[in-house]
Amino acid sequence: MKFKNIFIATSVIALSFTSCAEGFLEDLPSSAIVIDGNNALATKSDLELAVNGLYGKLNSASALAANHQTYQELTGDLAFVGISNSGRFTQTNGWGHINADEGAGTGIWNQIYGVIANANFILEYEGKIASEQDAEEIAELFAHAHAIRAYCYSVLMQYFAPNFGDANQNLGVPYPTTFDINAKLPRSTVNEVYNGILSDLTAAKTNMLTNNGNKKFNPETLDLLTARVYLYMKNYPKAIEFADLALNGPTPLLTRAQVNTYFGPVGENASYETLFQIYESANENPGSNEAISATWSSVGTYHQNWMRRSFWQTFPSTDIRKTAWYPDNAAVNALMDDPKPIDVRKYVTPSRDVVLFRKTEAKFIQFEALYHTNPSAAATELFNWVKTYRDTGYVLPATSGQALLDEILRQKGFEFFLEGHRFTDLKRNHKPVDKTGQNSNTFVAAADYYKFIWPIPISEMQTNPNVVQNPGY
């Protein structure tokens, strides 16, 4: 693996940190420190700064703070780039963005491996910072590095590897766990990577003893991510077990009455629903031209990416999400698109924190895992949640079979639109992507089409001869 975009060198090391809020991130100034490479993390204070910098590195528009969410939707079937656009993301309507020659995956690959490189650097010092008085706090700081590394590998697997148990299981992703910028690793197996993720999550859960607020990982987030990973691995009993743990945590679920304000300033700072979000502020954000808000919603800089009306119309007016998050308004009805788009109002400013984990996902992990183990229970749980939390007039359209799974995915697509799930959900469940009927688009990707597994970027292939490309590219 050839690392790119890292902020750590190997001898004299310059670490750049930004301030965030809550816990050990609170009141840390933006600063740069230079420390000797042979004793880079010597104290608890050094470690606090390094972990703070690791969280700051998640805030990149090319990956987790914007493009991950955008590509999950635009590569899926529920969204499109409008006729009037800035030229960005336009190839997504026909999947032209999925190519090895510096395609959409390059920024995601480089940025996330950069985060992993920094996590690996930090974890090189685990067990080497001696302080009897601060031992628990030091262990917990290392737990954050384990958690972030686990999450990053889980995202890479969403794009660049086959589903667990499908296709060639030797084609996971390169899996470095030590800091070596010159390493050229082959791809690990799918099973090896997922087992490594679970190992990191176990290490993190063992030492993450406090609820750290929602600007950092916390025990509830770890349970939710573990449930997500087990769902990806098709270990449905374990997925249910950890989804239940997340649901039993102290953070309340988002109620129907709170939907209207959740993505606004009130919800951003509330103590319900959000388990982990990337910190943004008026001074620290990806910028008005790069943030999620730049291309999504009618108030964004480019206002060009939309929800498909055909999907929006499948939900009744009694569903609170239909107007709170996805409006049909004059701004979109004046556009040339046919059919007219639906405005997405989740991110309307660059300063809104980017939600990566929220508690309601645990319900959907539960629904999908129960579908595979106890369909009757899945139908009951889905009905009760939708009717209580989103649509008082909800009528369950199916109680078993493929139609029930389709309804679970339809509800999840509406609930988590623009939150980084749709493409992965379709890939995992062997669903096609049909983008026909919008602005004369005729593109259809059959289930398991080779482009559901994104190519390793050509820049990686050129620098690492040990990496094998995915089939079809």
* 4 assigned to some structural domain: no
Q: What number is the average pLDDT over the span 271-279?
A: 98
Q: How confident is the model at residue 464 (pLDDT cuts 50, 70, 90)?
A: very high
* 79 assigned to some structural domain: yes
* Residue 32 CB-density burial (10 A; 0-12 exposed, 13-18 middle, 19+ buried): exposed
Q: How far apart are the C-alpha atoms of 10 and 138, rounded to whole Å?
A: 23
Q: How far apart are the C-alpha atoms of 92 and 181, rounded to whole Å?
A: 32
Q: What tokens does 457 get?
A: 């970027």
Give how many domains the chain has, as a whole number: 1
User: CA quadruple 72, 417, 284, 279: dihedral positive or negative?
Assistant: negative
Q: What number is the average pLDDT over the span 20-26?
A: 40
* 3 assigned to some structural domain: no
CA–centroid distance for 112 within its chain: 11
* 432 assigned to some structural domain: yes
Q: What is the pLDDT of residue 1?
A: 52
- Per-residue pLDDT at 435 exceeds 80: yes
- Per-residue pLDDT at 19 exceeds 50: no
* 2 assigned to some structural domain: no
Q: What is the pLDDT of residue 211?
A: 84
Q: What is the pLDDT of residue 130?
A: 86
CATH number at residue 447: 1.25.40.390
Looking up tokens 């620098």 gives 463
Q: What number is the average pLDDT over the span 91-112?
A: 95
* 206 assigned to some structural domain: yes
* Per-residue pLDDT reduced to its tens digit, 179-225: 998 899 999 999 999 999 999 999 999 999 888 899 999 999 999 99
Looking up tokens 């639109």 gives 417
* 131 assigned to some structural domain: yes
- Per-residue pLDDT at 12 exceeds 80: no
**Considering the chain, what percentage of its residues have pLDDT values greater than 90?**
89
Strand 31-36 to 12-17 pairing: antiparallel
pTM of the model: 0.94
Q: What tokens does 347 get?
A: 């991110």
Q: What tokens does 170 get?
A: 């030797």
Q: Which of 58, 7, 103 is nearest to 459 (CA)?
A: 103
- Per-residue pLDDT at 364 exceeds 60: yes
- Per-residue pLDDT at 332 exceeds 70: yes
CB 8 within 8 A of CB 35: no
Q: What value does the mean pLDDT of the chain take?
A: 92
- Per-residue pLDDT at 128 exceeds 50: yes
- Per-residue pLDDT at 4 exceeds 90: no
**Domain housing 325:** 12-463
Q: What is the pLDDT of residue 21?
A: 34
In this predicted model, which residue has the larger pLDDT, 416 or 38? 416
* 45 assigned to some structural domain: yes
Burial code (b: 16+ CB inside 10 Å, e: under 16) for 145-182 equals bbbbbbbbbbbbbbbbbbbbebbeeebbbbbbeebebe
